[in-house]
Amino acid sequence: MQIMGIVNVTPDSFSDGGRWQGEDRLAARIDQLLAEGADLIDVGGESTRPFAQPVSEAEELARVLPAVRAVRRRSAVPVSVDTTKATVARAALAAGADLVNDISALRHDPKMVSVVRDSGCRVVVMHMLGTPGDMQLAPHYEDVVAEINRFLAGRIAWLEEQGVDRSRVIVDPGLGFGKTLEHNLEILRNVAAFKQHGCPLLIGHSRKSFLGRLLGLEVAERDPATAVVSALLAGRGVDILRVHDVLASRQAVRLAEALA
């Protein structure tokens, strides 16, 4: 199981908005993630919290590219760029990023698939009901696990038609992206079901609001709960955990694996 550390270079992220802006703070964050043993680093320049407003292409580029370059100067660890914009993805890949993490599953920008196809990079395909602006208004499913799997199967088939091999795809059921508390719990209870596509599975549960609702925790208090979920996911087929606190999740996973 790999641990993906998060670098949000946004002023309005739900968890750490504004904390890593500025060259010194950004460098400190990256050094921290590397010291804690991050296997990958995910760089995002546009908040995807519920009801977030989009930012311009130019602004996102100005946020993301310095972060990608800062990681690459320090380490060969794979870098993921968290974006739905083809221009941002292309520039980030040219700056040294290795994979694209697209919460829209390449539906937002029709040019994104050519960036992924032509670069040969890996791509994270995530399920989201609606958009960040409306996804939490009234999410409804008859069978949340089955419906997410149908969506993921459809996007993988479409990517293959566009010339992107399945071996380059990572799937993410999208915890918190158009899901209620019970939907998120159902996804986690049945997480192994998302392995049916033959692709690596990524779970992004870190500091999410469902943890706060379940346990009555503010965002800053959710790292222990995040680590508990990380431990519970160990051995269930999850390949990548996307988290803010890399050290806590790594320790939790190691302990769970030792006790298994």
Rounded Cα distance, 44 and 96, in Å = 14
- Number of helical H runs and strand E runs in the chain: 9, 8
Rounded Cα distance, 136 and 239, in Å = 27
DSSP state string for 145-177: HHHHHHHHHHHHHHHHHTT--GGGEEEE--TTS
Longest dimension (CA), the chain: 48
Tokens of 209: 């609001």
Chain mean position to CA 114: 21
Q: Tell me which DSSP letter residue 7 carries.
A: E
Rounded Cα distance, 89 and 115, in Å = 7
- Annotated catalytic sites, by residue? 208, 242
Rounded Cα distance, 84 and 167, in Å = 21
Rounded alpha-carbon distances, angstroms, from residue 8 to 20, 60, 202, 238, 249? 7, 11, 18, 23, 18
Rounded Cα distance, 10 and 212, in Å = 22
∠ CA 3-41-259, nearest 5°, is: 10
